[in-house]
């Protein structure tokens, strides 16, 4: 049986919250919300993991939270002692699909005044036109939440930026695909997820979680990548001094000057407490809000083929100012000893992560030159 739950995506109700906050004065939509929740739960009982569905559908199958991916339901077990269920919203018309206890489900529905009899008789009352009417769905404004043992999301109408529940508008169905379809020879399958990898780091209990500090042993970061810069907004750089193949005097102050384009410079956060801690953002023009760095490393000779150890460098400096017409400058006090060197940029977002852009096939976002000190 083809089954589709069309969701007007918004925040889900908390799975572990109790209905004590429900006002004794019922809103006009309260009874209907209860009837729609009953109707949805009745329909969920008819579904199996093999039931056909449309991409993005949210449902409960075998008491598990289910999302339709590729025409098939992908199931996620709820936390201990909880089941998947449709619940009536409290502050607006509609229902939510989330994990809760059977007792909580029954209490919330009972608080609306709806009964199983009235719900069964109103399975299509949510249909008032459009796609919902065409498919005879019970809930015209159902919401959904990923399953969790202790779901502490704000109630409907809350701020999604303070909620601890994944808003279904954020769920990317393609994350469940591993890329094997039409893959080139040698490509390996991607990791997959049906909940945007929100608990990815829990797979590595021995690994520290990124907490804003520079964890030298490495860590697992739960921070989203953020806003990816468009193809025509990618940053790029070119050293003005020293020049590639140039020579500068030994042990004397000299300037490193680099021109950076397509970046709103001057944005940097505390690297000791906010390192890799927040997503990348762009300005109104689509340019990454960030900063650059320069790092100088000694090499054995200009024709050396040995890779350089990134933990060893002769000079490093974050260029945190807004620059002069895009040119960032820093003085190397006392200069450098005689030898051959490489200087490179590291263009970064405000929280020091490498700049993220829209395409894979591109030129380098950074510049690098080799010079001699003599």
Q: Which helix (H) or strand (E) covers residue 111, if one does? A: helix 102-111
pLDDT at 307: 97
What is the edge-to-edge ordering of all strands in the sheet holding 142-144? Answer: 83-88, 95-100, 142-144
Domain boundaries, the chain: 19-174, 231-373
- Rounded CA separation 37/111 (Å): 12
pLDDT at 116: 76
Taking CA atoms, 373 is separated from 101, 246, 248, in Å, by 71, 9, 5
Low-confidence winner among 26-40, 44-58, 159-173, 309-323 (lowest mean pLDDT): 159-173
Q: Which range is most confident: 31-35, 137-141, 367-371?
A: 367-371
43-55 pLDDT tens trace: 999 999 999 998 7
Q: How confident is the model at residue 73 (pLDDT cuts 50, 70, 90)?
A: confident
Q: Which fold has domain 231-373?
A: Immunoglobulin-like (2.60.40)
Average pLDDT estimate for 147-159: 47
Average pLDDT estimate for 328-346: 98
pLDDT score of 131 more than 70? no
Average pLDDT estimate for 307-330: 97
pLDDT score of 180 more than 80? yes
Average pLDDT estimate for 338-364: 98
- Rounded CA separation 348/291 (Å): 6
Q: What is the longest distance spanned by two Cα atoms in the chain?
A: 91
pLDDT score of 374 more than 60? yes
Average pLDDT estimate for 144-149: 46
Say if residues 97 and 65 touch (Cβ distance below 8 Å).
yes
Measured from the Cβ of residue 42, the count of other Cβ atoms closer than 10 Å reads: 15
Say if residues 278 and 269 touch (Cβ distance below 8 Å).
yes
Provide the Cα torsion 299, 300, 305, 307; round to 10°: -40
Average pLDDT estimate for 46-67: 89
246 Cβ contact partners less than 8 Å away, ≥ 6 residues apart: 369, 371, 372
Q: How confident is the model at residue 70 (pLDDT cuts 50, 70, 90)?
A: confident
pLDDT at 117: 59
Find the distance separating the first CA and the last CA of the chain, reported in whole Å. 80
105-124 pLDDT tens trace: 999 899 899 987 544 434 33
Residue scoring higher pLDDT (213 or 15) = 213
Average pLDDT estimate for 55-72: 86
pLDDT score of 373 more than 70? yes
- Rounded CA separation 262/100 (Å): 48
- Averaged confidence pLDDT in the chain: 83
Q: How confident is the model at residue 98 (pLDDT cuts 50, 70, 90)?
A: confident
256-265 pLDDT tens trace: 999 999 999 9
212-258 pLDDT tens trace: 999 999 999 999 999 999 999 999 999 999 999 999 999 999 999 99
* Residue % of the chain over a pLDDT of 70: 82
Closest by Cα among 44, 46, 40 to 60: 44
Q: Rounded to two decimals, what is the model's pTM?
A: 0.62
pLDDT at 144: 52
């Amino acid at each position: 049986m083809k089954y589709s739950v069309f969701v007007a995506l918004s925040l889900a109700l908390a799975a572990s919250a109790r209905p004590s906050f429900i006002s004794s004065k019922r809103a006009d939509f309260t009874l209907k919300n209860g009837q729609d929740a009953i109707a949805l739960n009745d329909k969920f009982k008819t579904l199996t993991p093999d039931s056909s569905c449309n991409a993005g559908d949210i449902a409960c199958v075998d008491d598990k939270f289910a999302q339709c991916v590729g025409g098939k339901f992908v199931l996620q077990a709820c936390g201990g002692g909880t089941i998947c269920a449709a619940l009536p919203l409290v502050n607006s018309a509609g229902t939510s699909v989330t994990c809760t206890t059977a007792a909580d489900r029954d209490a919330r529905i009972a608080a609306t005044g709806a009964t199983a009899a009235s719900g069964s008789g109103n399975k299509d009352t949510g249909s008032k036109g459009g796609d919902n009417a065409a498919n005879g769905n019970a809930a015209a404004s159902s919401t959904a939440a990923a399953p969790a043992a202790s779901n502490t999301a704000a109630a409907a109408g809350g701020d999604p930026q303070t909620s601890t529940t994944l808003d279904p508008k954020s769920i990317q169905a393609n994350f469940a695909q591993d890329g094997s379809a039409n893959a080139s020879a040698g490509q390996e399958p991607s990791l997959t997820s049906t909940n945007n990898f929100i608990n990815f780091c829990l797979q590595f209990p021995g690994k520290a979680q990124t907490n804003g500090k520079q964890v030298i042993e490495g860590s697992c970061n739960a921070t989203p990548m953020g806003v990816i810069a468009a193809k025509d907004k990618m940053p790029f750089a070119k050293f003005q001094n020293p020049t590639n193949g140039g020579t500068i005097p030994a042990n004397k102050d000299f300037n490193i000057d680099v021109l950076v384009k397509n970046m709103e410079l001057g944005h940097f956060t505390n690297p000791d407490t906010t390192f890799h801690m927040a997503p990348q953002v762009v300005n109104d023009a689509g340019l990454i809000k960030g900063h650059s760095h320069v790092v100088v490393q000694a090499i054995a000779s200009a024709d050396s083929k040995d890779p350089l150890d990134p933990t060893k460098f002769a000079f490093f400096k974050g260029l945190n100012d807004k620059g002069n017409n895009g040119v960032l400058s820093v003085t190397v006090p006392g200069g450098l000893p005689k030898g051959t060197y490489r200087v490179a940029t590291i263009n970064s977002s405000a929280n020091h992560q490498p700049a993220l852009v829209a395409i894979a096939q591109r030129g380098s976002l950074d510049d690098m030159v080799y010079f001699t000190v003599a």
